[in-house]
Amino acid sequence: MVAALLPLAQALKSPPEPTVAYVTQQLDHFRFDETRTFSQKLLVHDAWHRPGGPLLMYFGNEGAIEDFYGNSGGLMFELAPKLNASVAFLEHRYYGSSLPFGNASYGSDELAFLTVEQALADMALVLATSSEILGAADGPAVLFGGSYGGMLAAWFMLKYPHLAAGAVAASAPVDLYPGEGKERPFFDAGLEVYGTYGSAACEADLRAALAALAAAAKTAEGRDALARSFRTCEPLPDPVDGDRLTSYVNGALSTLAMLDYPYASAFVAPMPANPVRVACGRVAAAPSAASKLKGAVDVFLNHTGETACYD
């Protein structure tokens, strides 16, 4: 029994403590007359590195890089000692501590430098000068990323293929565009998680409740009832408000499914261990379609009970 539990215990242990470094990054990589710079955060762990070993680099996405270091780098930490590799996590510009204009970074003029192209060029500069920045890095670089970070890793290989040997782009929807209807299969896949790790009845209840939500969102009377049931911060007077609530609930359910860790976490929001199972318990106990959905999404959006209303 103890031997059987060892792999799980090893998988759940915390990643090694990183060294914090800062890269002097160009604010604009594409204008010769723009010379301003900012400090971009980098987390590094090179205890496993041996001469010639690769650099496993995580392409940070929309959040503080510490969150991804602690929750998204498992495969990298499994591979690094086997490959004699260094591990590094680059924070995305405008997130965490990597704010080009400090607390004034989110003005309309300042946000002009928050683009995919600039983010890709940030990574290009880091990899092109990795031996100077990272010291031990003297082998090929392999990029890792998930979701938006995975999209960045994939796009990087198209734009700068000479700077990385490859990329692991996990759950990277590079071919997803508004209006194509591709989001529906994604939401369906998320609901299947509730059937697999909760119960078949839970998945069926959620699908029925979502259909009822979509129908209610089309009428003024239905939207009034939904505003009360979901405790929205503002009324839902227009059909577009009903559509927004529907998307909000679908997004919350799918995100909860993605974050179904077997331990309590606070990666995106504070949640209990096995949140899908917890949500399904609330679904089973709730008397109405709206209360089933509210109970489920609260596990993700309001597990602490501190949120008074949904904005």
Model pLDDT for residues 33-89, shown as the tens digit of each residue: 999 999 999 999 999 999 889 999 999 999 999 989 988 778 999 999 999 999 999
Model pLDDT for residues 90-125, shown as the tens digit of each residue: 999 999 999 999 999 999 999 999 999 999 999 999
Cβ contacts of 229 within 8 Å, gap of 6 or more: 288, 290, 291, 294
Q: Does domain 182-302 have CATH number 1.20.120.980?
A: yes
Confidence of residue 222 (pLDDT cuts 50, 70, 90): very high
Q: Does domain 19-170 have CATH number 3.40.50.410?
A: no
The pair of three-digit structure tokens given for residue 121, joined into one six-digit string:
């060029």
As a whole number, the mean pLDDT across the chain is 90
Q: Nearest-CA neighbor of 86 among 25, 16, 8, 22?
A: 16
What does the pLDDT read at residue 217?
Answer: 94
Kindly state the average pLDDT of the residues 249-260.
Answer: 93
Q: Nearest-CA neighbor of 141 among 65, 97, 76, 68?
A: 76
**Global confidence as pTM:** 0.80
Kindly state the average pLDDT of the residues 5-29.
Answer: 75
Q: What is the 3-state secondary structure (H, E, C) of 51-63?
A: CCCCEEEEECCCC
User: How do strand 37-45 and strand 86-90 relate by DSSP bridges?
Assistant: antiparallel
Domains of the chain: which residue ranges? 19-170, 182-302
pLDDT at 9 over 70: no
- Within the chain, strands assigned E span 19-26, 37-45, 55-59, 86-90, 141-146, 166-170
Integer-rounded Cα Rg, in Å, for the chain is 22
